[in-house]
Structure 1
Amino acid sequence: MADSIGQKIKVFLENPLYKKGSLFPFLFPILLTLSLIIHLISLNRRNKSYKKITDIKSVPDYNFDNLKLICIGNILIGGTGKSPVVQKIAKTYLDKGFIVAIAARGIGKNIKSIYCNNTDPVKNLDFLSDENREHFELLNKHSENKGIFYILQNKKRIESLQFLLNEIKNKNYHNLKAILILDDGLQHFSCPRDVNICLWSPELLLESPYYAMPMGPYREGFGKNSFQRLLNCFDFRLWSRTKENDKEEYKSKIKLSLKRFNLEPNKKDIIAVYRTNYFNIKFIENKIKLENFKLESELNHFFTSSNSVTIITGIANPKNLISDLSSLINKKNVITLFLNDHGELNHSAIQLIKNSTIMIMTLKDIFRWASHPIFIDLIKEKNIIGCSVDVHFETLDNIKTEVF
């Protein structure tokens, strides 16, 4: 099927200037001016830099040696694999015995303040955004109640920080170490942080124009010198994402992209190596249950009842998803429907679900649509595979690391 409007816009932004279409020369002056304005606004904010926690007067008293603040984000417009990175770091610190909190803004209709944790009776899960709901479910499955974690959804991440510190005080968690992960917070300067991790794509640095939107696929930046400064200004350059068997080619692209900006690879450069996880999706009393496929044969057997499979998704890079699924859906009749990023169910999607037996969706899609009564009724008797991405981190020397 044809790309959604959101996909077409994304392709337009990522394309080199000479591939932007016949109308582009006429729009060039307007787009260039808007791109420069966005750059100047972001440059002014970035020059003011981020605050330290000692600069914040409104946070409760706390032994800040026990608190780590990590910000994970990008200057790209979606599709960099940020969510799996957030989840991996959260799981790592859960395993170390930390209280883990993820602070995120929410999306669309779910931009509202919702605080959830796994130790109290869980409420308001349906009001979490798709990304935050996925964070909650995967951390809950990973921890098996052996750790404490929070999902803090608020437009103002500083308020999420205040909430976490009050929770630590009120529940007498003072002796426990805690980490607050600021999800997609690089453009939000009011909340302090100790570490800034920026996700980059070597392919886009090699192929796309060095301009902020609407000329290029970036939230800030204008010209080669600007991007050289941006590549240097974060604590880690996280290159996301590549598969295990594509690492060497990917590393070559990273080195080439850095060379274009007269930069040498160093300890800042970390690769996110990923694989796709698959879950058998069950709905029990209208609640989502994730069941692992213990063996690859179980996953393959799942498909034997039909020669066709339907893929419906509303994510930023659906073509990456199709590539990930290529071996699984080999020799099947594949029907696809790509909605806009974070897209809601439309009439076409509902009709396609009605007429499909086996479907593949990302966990984000499933959690976003799970509050839709029609969706629940339609899929109760269907075979649904949910997929998510898991990552591990390596240096350019192929050394696994948890440096964050």
Structure 2
Amino acid sequence: MRVYLDNAATTPLDKEVFDAMAPFMLEHFGNPSSIHSHGREVRAAIEKARRTVATLLNTSPAEVFFTSGGTEADNAAILCTCRTLGIRHAITTQLEHHAVLHTMELLEKQDGVQVSYLRHDERGNLDLAHLEELLSSQPQTLVSIMHANNEIGNLNNIEAIGALCKKYNAIFHSDTVQTMGHYKHDLQQLGANFIVGSAHKFHGPKGVGFLYCDANVKIQPLIQGGAQERNMRGGTENVYGIIGLAKALEIAYRDMEEHTRYIQGLKDRMIYQLKEQLEDVHFNGMSATADKSLYTVLNVSLPASDINEMLLFSLDINKISASGGSACSSGANTGSHVLRALDVDPTRGSVRFSFSKYNTPEEIDFAAETLAKLYKKVSA
């Protein structure tokens, strides 16, 4: 048995999605910018996909722009907003994805934008009183706070954050990569000016995503070139990627209730099994609290052990694919910046298990038993 439990990194492609994409790989090959019939039929398919995404998100197709993925969409929202609107202050958290954090660092170095970091507690819960304090002192601000953390699964109250941003006339961008396709987003109610999606996080293809851009916020494009995406992103569109994204999101919304129950059940099973089979096991952030975390993510804190340094390698040898990161701060590119920000004990091992509709209870049992055996073998 080979078990894949790294769905927060990427998900398997749904067969329905592949079937929708295949004709645009083999038959409908025209350039959507061409005016002849081959181009027009592809242009029509892209616009149909855009309408599908917009309808699911309860917004206008004119506010949906296709990108190469979540990273590009995050970069465009942050860089182009600050540079187009002349924003000099941005608020984010130390727990964001590097697509946001590194972009903020770039704005500080190249544009002189002041970046403030929101306070949080030891489990990653954000201090919204601090957010209001920062907004009240500098209201003309860009706020960039993710909906859910990709490592520890914490869900943030982006409705409350959006309301605060509206109160103080701030621009609100939320990295929704981990929740897109897993939670419903009603953009008429959410209060965000920008949200993003990446198809491969919800059983679509890699290399394609989208940016929702509030029509009331006018920004310049990140990528210069042709007039594609209504002059908002130069370059020939990833046609079959766009078709696949729309189909994957359509399936995700269609089956969301069923899959939420099923995947939450797998996560609960993993929590129970680990508690039963391992001593001194904890869970980082809010990942074991059902109503405060992604139902797809569980970040496990394991006892101090010599095995921790090679934990992911040991799991891989035992046919389990997972991810993680030590809280250890040694080395420029090692460890997890999220776990370091939470002051997680660096002697403990940490592993992130993330689940999808394709996982089975038998796989969960196998993974928990394998992890327990690894630690028991070391302690014996």
Greater helix content: 2
The question of a shared fold, defined as TM-score above 0.5 by the shorter chain, is answered with no
Greater strand content: 1
TM-score (norm 2): 0.30
